[in-house]
Chain A
Amino acid sequence: MIELIGVTKSFGNNHVLRGVDLTVDRGTSLVIIGGSGTGKSITIKSVLGLITPDAGKITVDGQDVTQTDRDAFLARFGMLFQGAALFDSLPVWQNVAFRLLRGSLKRPKDEARQIAIEKLRRVGLTPDVADRLPAELSGGMQKRVGLARAIAADPEIIFFDEPTTGLDPIMAGVINDLIREIVVEMGATAITITHDMTSVRAIADNVAMLHDGVIQWTGPVGDIDTSGDPFLDQFIHGRAIGPIEAVR
């Protein structure tokens, strides 16, 4: 279980997180929604220790994330970055098997390559992609490679940062289905950040809406249309008029 209690984070005078309280049960898929710049990425980066919160507490299975052995802690996670964040200088298979080629999870090179090819196949890519460089792939293929890298070491917890941004609707649907299948199949705990309501409905068990630095609403995905929360209603229907100010 992942728990955030009163997490705050400011950058100068910009108070991004003002006290985020959030719980994600083991084996469930939470989707965090909210406008641009509301701190969704900051929230998941805080869990991973990429950003240090100013105040508050973050625990994973009851253990404070600042008190853990970093390598062992991070070995439990996989993350798909918004732009895939593939390493340009490495061929695709070495990107996917990055964790398996070094550190505590190191495997023999042939075995790591086989696992990488298997994970690539799992996300719908053929083995001939393995030796290509990331720059030779389309955006959708790069996202899939990023997804394969995120699941390469069979993590218990997976974060997806805007997995469908920049993709055409069909490819976005493919990625959504893959994420859902992988999360269910692996029994992983997942947190996804997205603006895409199609993704929310495809991926989520639960939804949390971040607004003005706090969790404005949280509940099961089936309740989002009947929440009665004016902020959530405005967001999911994409209305320009409502309690959320649209900066023009």
Chain B
Amino acid sequence: MRLLVSIGRAFLGLIAAIGRIAIFAGQTLGHIVRGPFYLRELAISFLNIGWLSLPVVGLTSLFTGAALALQIYAGSARFSAEAVVPQIVAIGMVRELGPVLVGLMIAARVTSSIAAEIATMKVTEQIDALVTLSTHPMKYLTVPRVLAATIVVPLLVAVGDIIGIFGGYAVATGTLGFNPAAYIRNTLDFLELKDVVSSLAKGAMFGFIAALMGCYYGMNSGRGAQGVGSATKGSVEAAAVLILGANFVLTGVFFSL
């Protein structure tokens, strides 16, 4: 009986948390379409989320594309189909690995940073100070971060896709004996517009989720250092799970329906 009560309580807690996050997302979207807008905060968010994430996104994509080429070459060699390496690297990076890896790296780098910053602002009464200074915390803190992430993460995904494909190209032409011109031609011929659109759409959704979770957990942080730590940990866990779940749904929408 106690087990059932515990399961029921956990389930109700989960439903309540989903409801709170949905309300928070709705409020954020409501504030995005209504002013005032804080352009300086938006510009800083573009810089922090976009520009400063480029090194980690680039390196992650480069190594993943290179490893993918090696794996596909080794696997396809078993049935003499090594020629598919450019196509599968391109499909793998653009449809799945590019957006998911960038999304997860953004969750690790940006979600955690947003949650920790806003949670610290909360425990040091900076959020209360904003209110007393006639500034709505959601408009000032949440909207710029969520808007910037939703716009800039697709661009990071595009960069990640290109660098990932380049990683595969470098390995394939440098060590596996592929012809450079043929590799590029095969890659470009095989990719469809839908692949690129799905990649960018996933990037936008993952950026929205990553920033939203950082803001939600930061704004709802508990007290003290432990509260900040819990908010940061919870935000990254939630963002990662939601990104992978959204990836499954969007893949279904783009490629199965």
Contact = CB atoms under 8 A, between A and B. Distances in A.
Interface stretch (B4-12, B94-102, B123-131, B232-240): B123-131
Interface residues of B, number: 14
B256 interface: no
B80 interface: no
A93 interface: no
Contacts of A78: 132
Given A102-B36, A102-B38, A103-B36, A87 B134 contact: no
Contacts of B128: 45, 50, 81, 85
B36 A83 contact: no
Contacts of B135: 98, 102-103
Interface in B98-137: 121, 124-126, 128-129, 131-135
User: Most A CB atoms within 10 A — which of B36, B38, B131, B132?
Assistant: B132
Contact of A83 (B44, B125, B131): B125
Contacts, number: 49
Contact of A79 (B38, B126, B129): B129
Given A83-B124, A85-B125, A85-B126, A48 B131 contact: yes
A78 B129 CA distance: 10
Contacts of B36: 102-103
A50 B134 contact: no
Contacts of A85: 124-126, 128-129
B132 A98 contact: no
Nearest to B129: A85
A244 interface: no
Given A82-B125, A85-B124, A102-B36, A75 B134 contact: yes
B129 A81 contact: yes
Contact of B131 (A74, A75, A87, A104): A74
Contacts of B124: 83, 85
Given A83-B124, A85-B124, A99 B129 contact: no
A82 B128 CA distance: 12
Contacts of B129: 79, 81, 85-87
B42 to A, nearest CB: 13
A99 B121 CA distance: 18
Contacts of B131: 48-50, 74
Contacts of B132: 48, 50, 74, 77-79
Interface string A46-88: 0011100000000000000000001100110111011101111
Most A Cβ at <10 Å: residue of B44, B121, B134: B134
A104 B125 contact: no
B134 A74 contact: yes
Contact of B134 (A82, A86, A88, A99): A99
Contacts of A74: 131-134
A83 B125 CA distance: 8
Q: B36, B126, B129: which has the most chain A beta carbons within 10 Å?
A: B129
B125 A70 contact: no
A228 B17 CA distance: 52
Nearest to A161: B125
Nearest to A72: B134
A128 B157 CA distance: 44
A28 B44 CA distance: 43
Contacts of A103: 36, 134-135
A86 B125 CA distance: 9
A3 B44 CA distance: 42
B68 to A, nearest CB: 39
B59 to A, nearest CB: 27
Interface in A9-48: 45, 48
Nearest to A83: B124
Interface in B15-44: 36, 38, 44
18 contacts: A45-B128, A48-B131, A48-B132, A49-B131, A79-B129, A81-B129, A82-B125, A83-B125, A85-B124, A85-B126, A87-B129, A89-B44, A98-B133, A98-B135, A99-B133, A102-B38, A102-B135, A105-B134
Interface of B: 36, 38, 44, 121, 124-126, 128-129, 131-135
Interface of A: 45, 48-50, 70-71, 74-75, 77-79, 81-83, 85-89, 98-99, 102-105, 149
Q: Which 6 residue pairs across A and B have the least CB separation, nearest first?
A: A85-B129, A85-B125, A74-B134, A79-B132, A81-B125, A99-B133
Given A99-B133, A99-B134, 19 more contacts: A49-B131, A50-B128, A70-B134, A74-B131, A74-B132, A74-B133, A74-B134, A81-B129, A82-B125, A85-B124, A85-B128, A85-B129, A86-B129, A87-B121, A89-B44, A98-B135, A103-B36, A103-B134, A105-B134
